[in-house]
Amino acid sequence: MRLKPPLKRLLGTIFLSAGLSLSAQADINDNASGQLQQLLDRFDSLSASFDQVSASDQSRRMEQSRGTLLLAKPNRFNWIAEEPFPQQLVSDGETLWIYDPDLEQATRRSVETSASGVPALILNGQIDELKAQYKIRLLQNQGANQLFELLPLAEGEVFTRIRLLFTDGVITELQMEDSLGQRTSILFADQQLNPAIKADAFNFVPPEGTDVIIEDQQALTDG
């Protein structure tokens, strides 16, 4: 299933236009986690291109990147940022590699200790785990668009707010705000649900001459 690229719009312009009453908002939030689960259960694998924009409260400077994503549940992905600064994140479900070709450096760590845990839980459709950390709300359900918001249940979570936009039942934007004031918006395009992906797409072997950094004891034991 191949979809047309999403419109380049910020999430804020969508939820601010919603005119729902408080009672209507309560109704759609009663089963927000169930509705999110249904949308994420539509795929076991996913391919897409992406545009990512990041900014912080401390700086007016915006960082932009674009690239491609391959994902297969559970916890396997190959995220390639192609420009302006190339970087590759590859997980086979147990080990995560972060490769910076310009620095000729690769970092190896276990998936369990990776700070990318919450986005991974979202794309893997692990709603029960998400509900243990976040309150899930459906901010808007209008036409082809469904907008979800995740707010932490306790202090100390890495992300203070997460928003997910689905258009025609497919994720088109992921927006995250962290405890340091960093805001990141990822716009997906050319989404393909359930493509056939070869298993070796999630394997990574550092190129010869790469400086390898091992960050966790499990990786050290395995390697």
What does pTM read for this prediction? 0.79
Query: Is 14 within the bounds of a domain?
Result: no
Query: Is 13 within the bounds of a domain?
Result: no
- Residue 110: what pLDDT? 87
Instruction: Tell me how far apart the terminal alpha carbons of the chain are, to the nearest angstrom.
Output: 39
Are 94 and 81 a contacting pair, CB within 8 Å? no
Q: pLDDT digit of tens for each residue in the chain (223 aa)?
A: 444 343 334 444 333 333 344 444 444 556 899 999 999 999 999 999 999 999 887 767 788 999 999 999 988 999 999 988 899 999 999 999 999 999 999 999 988 755 456 787 888 888 888 888 999 999 999 899 999 999 999 988 889 999 999 999 999 999 999 988 899 999 999 999 999 999 899 999 999 999 999 986 544 444 4
Query: Is 17 within the bounds of a domain?
Result: no
* Domain that residue 165 falls in: 22-222
Sign of CA dihedral 144, 135, 164, 139: positive
Total structural domains in the chain?
1
Query: Is 7 within the bounds of a domain?
Result: no
Nearest to 181 by CA among 64, 65, 61, 59: 59
Query: Is 15 within the bounds of a domain?
Result: no
DSSP string over 123-139: HHT-HHHHHHHEEEEEE
Kindly report the CATH number assigned to the domain that includes residue 195: 2.50.20.10
Q: CA of 27: how far to CAs of 19, 132, 141, in Å?
A: 14, 21, 11
Query: Is 10 within the bounds of a domain?
Result: no
